[in-house]
Amino acid sequence: MDNPESAAIPSKRSRSRIEVSRETHAYPRKRALKACNTCRLRKTKCNNERPICGFCQTLGAGLDPASQRVMDRLDQVLRKLDLNEEQSSQNFSQILRKLDQAQPHHGRRPDTIGVDPALDSASASQQDTDGDLTMDENMMTPDGRTSPDAVIDWPVFKNQYPLGFITDSLFVHAYASLTPTSTSDELSSPSINEESVPRLVEVFLCRVHTKNPVLDIETARRYANAVAQHGLRWNGPSCLTLIMCALGCTARPFSDLYSQSLSQDQNLSSRRLHGASLAMGRAYYDAACKRIGLLEASILSSQCIFLCGVYEMYNLNPLKAWRWFSNSSSTLYTYLRCQDVYIRDDDSAVSCSTTQRLEASIYWSSYKSMCELRTELPMPASLLAEVKYPHVLPTPPTRLQSTADSFSNQEVEMSSDKMQEQAWFNTLPAPIQFDDHDIRPSNELQFTVQFRALEIKSWLYRPFLYYTIHHVPYTSLSPRLQALVIKAVDTSIHWILLRPVRHRHQGTWYVGRLVLSSALSLLAAVKSGLEDHVRKLGEWRNIVKEAISALEFWEDESPDFSKGREVITVLYNELDEESSPSV
């Protein structure tokens, strides 16, 4: 029986609301057409024709072109906003998926290798502290951002040279040299004297090992004595001994010979000066290369391969050095992975502190070497960048460490860049402290640290020089920015005038590249008119000539120096003609 009250109330059929996800509205919406002002006032239908609708044409109504252009631009802006909203939504979804994949898993991390369980608990706090410093994104470095090609690509040079014009000569030369050498060159190479091995190894320990401490000194001497007594064999110790001898022949002492002005002996080149020792070093190097292919993945093989890369850097062959450093990284990665699995399965396996120190030394040396090359060359990152290596950087020798520790507890609040720089300088051990304004360093370790400091300064200050050349005139800059521009010019000049650019060492190629970049930076500054405001640019002609002399000295060994010298000479002549008073 029907309820009378319910009959009196009109029945309302309830309709469930259909839930529509926000994703269905994520498509780019098209803005609805808007009637013109005349049709809106008369409340008539507008056909939205442009630039004037049909009804307005019939009435002869006037057209405001400016208002119409504003409306069209607003329509374009709204369409772009809708499109960007869709793209942002897609990018956000990708980021969320990557974050889900990057969440730490319970248990052991598969990409953390080389951890010794016996030492893990003792160094857990230290590893936790260093964990943030070895994340993957921090281990990846951009490539080729500070190279001479990056400077020559500045707009002030008006695309006079294509991108990569200087560095590409290295790849062209490497590809052209793939043809096999003649047998006469192999027959004329000097022979190896096994009795000279201990002496050459001592030279290596004195001139090379101090900058690349990847070996145990006593073990190296024991290998050298074994070769002198029993002869060379086809094993790892003989291979390591041969590459040490090759570097002992190639490395030169740091003496006053390399501190004389480059304007002297214009016809003297690096090969003519060091030809005999380079040939002897090549003989030992070739003998070592014949044995490397027989070695298994181990610390010893990683040391041999890494030192082959160091040898190629001494000979200004960055592409060959990169190949060796890359192989050293992959060999070490294989070794650490095998060690990690072995220790995990055998709880009683323990690695000694000496082995762990050698592992850390070769790890950081290989990784650092590839990062340094990537600052100049467009090459892939090191395989070791993907490894969360748990061990810290190796500590310096105790004799140097005690000096550095005396400053470690000082807490000084820095209010300027100069104070920060001075504070860093004060923490350096006395044997490697240098005079920042000295262009004739007397100690090789001091020169090495000074070289690195000047290199970093040039990278830091060069963007300010770029800024005033291409964006804001020097006179419009604040005093703070003007000081930074002057620092960029001073650093470039100081680097070119630094006398030991004739000294052959592992970083010689970087020295030449920085001389090239510095000369191009000074030419860009002169070309933009900064010579009238920066006093030190008044001597730019003599400074650029000094850079050309430095590149001429090494260009027989590195084709990019020859190409760079040609570029600097052309730009120098152009600027010299423009700035010379007309007769």
Q: How many CB atoms neighbour CB 133 within 10 A?
A: 10
Total H helices, total E strands in the chain: 24, 0
Over range 321-343, report the average pLDDT.
Answer: 88
- What are the φ/ψ torsions at residue 141 (nearest 5 degrees)? -125, 145
Give the residue, 11 or 60, on which the prediction is more confident: 60
Amino acid letter, 374: R
| Residue 155 CB neighbours (<10 A) | 10
Rounded Cα distance between 505 and 237, Å, is 24
Residue 499, pLDDT score: 65
Q: Provide the token pair at 487.
A: 């620092």
Q: Residue 10: in which H helix or E strand, if any?
A: none
Contact call for residues 493 and 522 (beta carbons, < 8 A) = yes
Distance in Å from the first CA to the final CA of the chain = 121
Its pTM stands at: 0.71
In tens, the pLDDT along 112-128 reads: 444 444 434 444 444 44
The domains of the chain are located at 21-89, 117-148+186-253+276-386, 425-579
Q: What are phi and psi of 98, to 5 degrees?
A: -65, -35
Give the Cα separation of 11 and 2 in Å (integer).
Answer: 13
Res 336 pLDDT > 90: no
* C-alpha dist (Å) from residue 462 to 12, 147, 470: 77, 12, 13
DSSP label at residue 210: T
411-439 pLDDT, tens digit each: 333 335 666 777 777 777 777 777 777 76
- Alpha-carbon distance values, 55 to 33, 34, 39, 67, 267 (Å): 16, 14, 8, 18, 87
pLDDT in tens, 507-539: 899 999 999 999 999 999 999 988 888 888 888
Task: Say how far apart CA 399 and CA 361 lie, in whole Å.
Answer: 18
Nearest partner of 245 among 191, 298, 325, 295, judged by Cα: 191
Token look-up 């001597």 returns 539
Q: Which two tokens stand for residue 111?
A: 């990409």
